[in-house]
Amino acid sequence: MIAESAMAGEAIALAQQEDDLLETAVREHARLVYRIAYSVLHNPADAEDATQEIFLRVLRYGKKLAAVKDQKAWLATIAWRVAVGRRKNTAVVAAGAEEPGETLASPGYGADRILLEQERNAVLERLISALPSQLRDALVLSTLEEIAPREVASMLGISEAAVRSRSFRAREILRERLLALTGPRT
Amino acid sequence: MDPMERERDRVVEGGLEDQWLESALIQFGKAEPRVGLENRLLANLRAERAQAHRRRRWWRALGMVASLAAILVAVRVEERDRERKPESTAATSTTNRAEARELVQPRPIPQIVHPATTHPATEAVLRRPAHRPTRDLAVASTPKLAQFPSPQPLSEQERILASYVAKYPEHAALVAQARAEALQQDSEEEAAGNVGNIR
């Protein structure tokens, strides 16, 4: 009887510990996870759905969560995989589907400026989507402030130098295409 | 200076497109979720956990019910088997025993005794059948049934006899006794007749 109650108490304590760990992970890394998902999916609703899915996976991971050494890198990797999987399964929603000023346009600007920025961002998203996946992945992850190049390298399974060179090449391509779109300056 | 930062600086210096590209990429990296993302996530996680708990409880209950049903079925089958066994054993054992006795017992063979060899010592030897009938032995050595008691149902006559015995056990006992006595008497008479013939 005593042993049973002790075991029950232990189980409750473990469950409580799991809850605490999960809550801490959500509070600390939810934004990073969201940004990674957003950088891949380019849609706030999809990014939030992906974030939900990622943390549900973490919930199923249960007891093993305590054994994870670097939670941030671990969550970033899961987020990246889930987001890439979603991108493959669903067509990327056009940026025009977003509500004006919802995400990327800076507050405090005039309506013309906001619309112009939205149009530019839509163009840029299309150009990024058209990049080869290796270059696109390196570029997208490099733009996230929270992730160091070392972590990007481990997420993509390549070296840091490769991350840098891919990111550089992606920027070069984007620059060329933007110039081609806007026309040569006089 | 970090090579990435150097590269970023170069891009920023590049021109209007570069500046725009850089600012857009930075903005992409700073996408903000709707307010209260963490709370929504936590609420969903709690709901999911509660649902999983409920689901687990249901599965456990379902498993218990299934195992209980399996046990009940097993017990019922066992009981039915037990109910069937005595009936079939009694029925088949009586018929089998009678058949076996009939098959194994050699038929009385007319004994040929020569008048010259009627010595008391040799009489017993002579009375023994010279050879067992091969047909009986062959029938008696038929292979045993794979299943015992035999699953064959009772014949019509056997069933009538069984019901008669069940209804009037005393009368049946008397009839059986009378029949046995009659048989014994017949065999005695037969034996006496045989002795007379021999003499």
What averages of pLDDT result for each successive group of 10 residues across chain B (199 residues)?
A: 53 65 79 88 90 90 94 92 72 55 53 50 51 52 59 82 89 90 88 68
- Taking the CA of residue A108 and the nearest CA in chain B, the distance in Å comes to 15
**pLDDT score recorded for residue A101:** 42
Distance CA A60, CA A140 (A): 28
- B34 DSSP 8-state letter: P
Nearest CA in chain B to A48: B33
* A179 has pLDDT over 70: yes
Average pLDDT, integer, range A115-127: 80
Neighboring chain B residues of A35 at a CB cutoff of 8 Å: 29-31
Q: What is the pLDDT of residue B83?
A: 83
Whether the pLDDT of residue A127 is over 70: the answer is: yes
Residues of B with CB below 8 A from A103's CB?
Answer: 31-32
CA distance B172 to A135: 104
Chosen for mutation from A51, A137, A181 (greatest number of chain B CBs closer than 10 Å) is A51
Taking the CA of residue A118 and the nearest CA in chain B, the distance in Å comes to 10
Q: How many structural domains are present in chain A?
A: 1
> How much is the pLDDT for B69?
95
Please give the pLDDT value at position B95.
Answer: 56
Flag if B48 and A59 touch (Cβ within 8 Å): yes
Q: What are the residues of chain A with a beta carbon less than 8 Å away from any beta carbon of chain B? A: 22-23, 26-27, 30-31, 34-35, 38-39, 44, 47-48, 51-52, 55-56, 59, 103-104, 106, 120-121, 124, 139-140, 142-145, 149, 164, 167-168, 171, 174-175, 178-179, 182, 185
**Band of the pLDDT at A34, cuts 50, 70, 90?**
very high
What pLDDT was estimated at residue A95?
44
Q: Are B20 and A34 in contact (CB under 8 A)?
A: no
* In the predicted structure, residue A102 carries a pLDDT above the cut 50: no
Residue A13 domain boundaries = 1-93
Residue numbers in A near B29 (CB within 8 A): 35, 39, 143-145
**Residues with Cβ within 8 Å of residue A135, at least 6 apart in sequence:** A166, A167, A169, A170, A173
**How close is the nearest chain B Cα to the Cα of A73, in Å?**
17
Which pLDDT value is given to residue A105? 47
This prediction's pTM: 0.54
Write the residue in A121, A124, A143 that is nearest to B29 by C-beta: A143
Q: Nearest CA of chain B to the CA of A59: how many Å?
A: 7
Residue B44 and residue A52: Cβ atoms within 8 Å? yes
CATH number at residue A43: 1.10.1740.10
Whether A34 is covered by a domain: the verdict is: yes
Give the pLDDT of residue B68.
93
Asked if residues A66 and A21 have their Cβ atoms less than 8 Å apart, the reply is yes
Please judge whether B41 and A26 are an interchain contact, meaning their C-beta atoms are less than 8 angstroms apart: yes
The interface pTM score, or ipTM, of the predicted complex is 0.70
Tell me the CB-side half-sphere exposure of residue B86, using CA atoms within 13 A: 4
Residue predicted with more confidence, A68 or A92: A68
Average pLDDT, chain A: 80
DSSP A124-174: HHHHHHTS-HHHHHHHHHHT-TTS-HHHHHHHHTS-HHHHHHHHHHHHHHH
- How high is the pLDDT of residue B125? 47
In a domain, A112, yes or no: no
Going by the DSSP 8-state scheme, the letter that residue B141 receives in this structure is T
Cβ–Cβ under 8 Å, residues A152 and A163: yes
- Pick A48 or A19 by higher pLDDT: A48
Measured between CA atoms, the residue of chain B closest to residue A41 is B28
- Asked if residue A119 belongs to a domain, the reply is no
Inter-chain CB proximity B3 and A164 less than 8 Å:
yes
Give the span between the Cα atoms of B156 and B142, in whole angstroms: 25
Burial classification of residue A183, based on how many CB atoms lie within 10 Å of its CB (0-12 exposed, 13-18 middle, 19 or more buried):
exposed
B/e letters for A13-42, b = 16+ CB within 10 Å, e = fewer, are eeeeebeebbeebbeebbbbbbbbbbbbbb
The whole-number pLDDT of residue B96 equals 55
Between B98 and A82, the more confident residue is A82
**Cβ B25–A139 below 8 Å, yes or no?**
yes
Q: Are A54 and A38 in contact (CB under 8 A)?
A: no
Q: Which residues of B touch A51 (CB under 8 A)?
A: 33, 37, 41
Statement: residue A154 has pLDDT above 70? yes
| Per-residue confidence (pLDDT) for residue A51, from 0 to 100 | 93
| A159 found inside a domain | no
Q: What 3-state class would DSSP assign to B28? A: helix
At residue A130, the pLDDT reads: 87
